[in-house]
Amino acid sequence: MNDPRPFGTFAPSGLTRWVIDRTRGLPGGWVGRRIAMMLRRVVMKSLKDQPLDLETFGVRMRVVPYKNVCERRILFTPQYFDLDEIRLIAARDREGFTFIDIGSNVGWYALLVARKVSASSRILAVEPQPEIFDRLIHNIRLNPFGTIKAFDCAIADKTGELTLFLDPLNKGEASLKIVNSSQTDAIRVPVVTLLDLVRQEGFGHVDAVKLDVEGAEDLILDPFFRDAPASLYPSLLIIPDVSDRWQVDVRKLLEEKGYRQILRTRMNLAFERIERA
């Protein structure tokens, strides 16, 4: 469980603070990333499962970088995150703005969006892993802005319960599909369809959705676009570029539903829906 002591209790100091300051100042590109990786290794062995408190881009986070790639990136190299995606989502801000972050991990992405959109927004953060969900809730509570509602479930092609496969070396990587040989742990988790979630929350429209579910995006999107009315199609959809893991051609599916690709980042693709007459 999360330590209940207030934010700042675990502020980085000494060598850890020095390394964080240096890695966060490095440019992108191969050389910068290699230097960041080497510096990061200097302190990771000593940190182990110790939490660290810090504010980045106006968002307070308590991270535990041990065995979670996402939290290591937040701690040491947040400048490498694809902030163009956040700007693209925030540009759609309006009264009653809605955003769904599926595979929210510890909440970094959802919180960055919440900081940039209006207070009337409704943001859903979905994370099925109990330990990571606990950290997600803690980070949401550290930040007073925006309205984020967290769900401890997975999104899939049916509502019920399914097996979630976990990577013991990276707690942020979990999928309803086995995506690599290191995934040897598994737990049973509740699941709902995306359409059921949207209807349960009473959404009349969806402005943006981000999916990061380790290759199971097709399990979510195929039934959604089969069953949902066009009025609930997201205006903006961001998905990882992992077509080799899909059993359904997601790009073709999106094109058939009126989407066009408007952005490619280092890891993701962004699609915008063109309203049809």
What range does the domain containing 75 cover?
A: 14-79
Q: How far apart are CA 169 and CA 9, in angstroms?
A: 27
Across residues 216-230, what is the average pLDDT?
Answer: 97
Q: Between residues 114 and 47, which one has the greater pLDDT?
A: 114
For residue 113, what is the domain's CATH number? 3.40.50.150
Same-domain check for residues 21 and 157: no
Three-state SS at 69: helix
Q: How far apart are CA 194 and CA 158, in angstroms?
A: 9
Q: What is the pTM of this model?
A: 0.94
In this structure, the strands spanning 98-102 and 208-211 are parallel
Across residues 54-58, what is the average pLDDT?
Answer: 95
Residue 223 buriedness (CB in 10 A; 0-12 / 13-18 / 19+): middle
Kindly report the number of other CB atoms within 10 A of residue 256's CB atom: 10
Give whole-number Cα distances, 19 to 22, 35, 37, 41, 66, in Å. Answer: 5, 11, 11, 10, 16
Q: Is the pLDDT of residue 259 over 80?
A: yes
Predicted confidence at residue 180, as pLDDT, reads 59
Same-domain check for residues 75 and 161: no
Residue 88 lies in a domain: yes
Same-domain check for residues 139 and 59: no
Same-domain check for residues 157 and 237: yes
Across residues 116-123, what is the average pLDDT?
Answer: 95
Same-domain check for residues 56 and 179: no
Q: Which of 79, 103, 130 lies at the terminal end of a domain, its last residue?
A: 79
- Mean residue pLDDT across the chain: 93
Same-domain check for residues 19 and 96: no
Predicted confidence at residue 277, as pLDDT, reads 44
Q: State the pLDDT confidence band at 108, using cuts at 50, 70 and 90.
A: very high
